[in-house]
């Protein structure tokens, strides 16, 4: 049995890893077809993948997408979390009725983070709830923080307290463990879910991690890779970090410019912040199929 799979989003961080996984020797025998819906022309087209150029936030283009995805088994969202985009996806899902939907939840355990920052990324949790109300199986995949060479946790390190000049703000214990997942592994995890033999047996929430790191390890790795010395300019403990972010959140609400600050504050809280998984579902999605990509610490 093979699965027909549709993907919303072609140009984001996870599109290439997911397509690579689906077309790899590991999963391709379980994949019948792949359709990618993208607002803009994809940066790269792949053989055997059908592309639909459409803006799902435009209600007039929804019928075109519905027609293209009619009969697909599983749909994956890799889109940015914008309400108008989610509304378009929900309109498509309502008519297509796939057997499985994996939304773009990838990142911190949002419900856990919301216990610290009420309403944090609620657009994501609201979307999953709305799709489940349509009678569609939804699996939220939480990966905590990404790690990717030349990207997150190597070059993009503001959420570990590092500024480009090497100055460091420590929030919480610098030896506090944080769950991280390689972007390539995210693609494999999603591929494993959408090619599962029985979607009904999948849990509603899946938590995975490739590795665990500490802020100190990431900071030192960044410094070595850039030939810089670190200078700790501010250090606050876990309780102070919690009070700081909650005060800012209460006074100002969400600001996109502060997203790395929110993540840094959440990492300071360990498992309570949704960035450390005490238990994970690694074995469920990967019972020895591939090797998890570890963080390359200095």
Q: What percent of the chain has pLDDT over 90?
A: 94
Q: Do 22 and 35 belong to one domain?
A: yes
Q: Do 51 and 21 share a structural domain?
A: yes
Q: How far apart, in whole angstroms, are the C-alpha atoms of residue 145 and residue 275?
A: 7
- Residues 64 and 201 grouped into a single domain: yes
Q: What total of structural domains would you count in the chain?
A: 2
Residues 168 and 32 in one domain: no
What CATH number corresponds to the domain at position 130?
3.40.50.720
177-193 mean pLDDT = 98
pLDDT over threshold 90, residue 298? no
Burial of 186 (0-12, 13-18, 19+ CB in 10 A): buried
Residues 73 and 202 in one domain: yes
Coil, strand or helix at 37: strand
pLDDT tens for each residue of 93-135: 999 999 999 999 999 999 999 999 999 999 999 999 999 999 9
109 lies in the same domain as 32 = yes
Same domain, 75 and 172: no
In this structure, the answer to whether residues 56 and 81 fall within a common structural domain is yes
> How far from 250 is each of 121, 146, 224, 231, 236, CA to CA, in Å?
15, 27, 37, 30, 20
Pairing of strands 31-38, 3-8: parallel
Task: Tell me the C-alpha distance between 218 and 296, whole Å.
Answer: 9
> What tens digit of pLDDT does each residue of 22-71 get?
999 999 999 999 999 999 888 888 889 999 999 999 999 999 999 999 99
Full residue range of the structural domain in which residue 260 is found: 158-178+212-272
Q: Are residue 45 and residue 189 in the same domain, yes or no?
A: yes
Average pLDDT, the chain: 96
Same-domain status, 139 and 174: no
């Amino acid at each position: 049995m093979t699965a027909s799979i549709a993907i919303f989003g072609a140009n984001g961080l996870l599109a290439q890893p997911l397509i690579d996984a689906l077309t790899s020797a590991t999963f391709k025998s379980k994949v019948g077809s792949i359709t990618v819906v993208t607002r803009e022309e994809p940066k790269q087209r792949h053989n055997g993948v059908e592309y639909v150029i459409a803006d799902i936030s435009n209600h007039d283009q929804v019928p075109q997408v519905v027609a293209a995805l009619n009969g697909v088994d599983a749909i994956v969202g890799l889109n940015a979390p914008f309400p108008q985009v989610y509304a378009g996806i929900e309109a498509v899902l309502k008519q297509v009725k796939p057997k499985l939907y994996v939304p773009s939840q990838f990142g911190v355990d949002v419900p856990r983070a919301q216990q610290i920052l009420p309403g944090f990324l609620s657009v994501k949790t609201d979307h999953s709830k709305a799709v489940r109300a349509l009678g569609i199986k939804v699996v939220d995949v939480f990966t905590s923080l990404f790690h990717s060479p030349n990207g997150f946790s190597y070059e993009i390190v503001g959420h570990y307290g590092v500024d480009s000049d090497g100055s460091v703000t420590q929030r919480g214990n610098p030896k506090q463990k944080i769950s991280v997942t390689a972007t390539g592994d995210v693609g494999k995890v999603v591929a494993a879910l959408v090619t599962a033999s029985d979607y009904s047996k999948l849990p509603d929430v899946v938590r995975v991690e490739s590795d665990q790191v500490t802020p100190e390890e990431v900071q030192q790795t960044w410094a070595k890779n850039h030939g810089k010395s670190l200078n700790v300019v501010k250090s606050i403990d876990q309780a102070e970090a919690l009070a700081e972010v909650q005060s800012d959140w209460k006074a100002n609400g969400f600001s996109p410019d502060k997203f790395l600050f929110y993540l840094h504050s959440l990492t300071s809280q360990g498992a309570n912040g949704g960035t450390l998984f005490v238990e994970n579902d690694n074995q469920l999605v990967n019972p020895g199929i591939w090797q998890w990509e570890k963080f390359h610490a200095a």
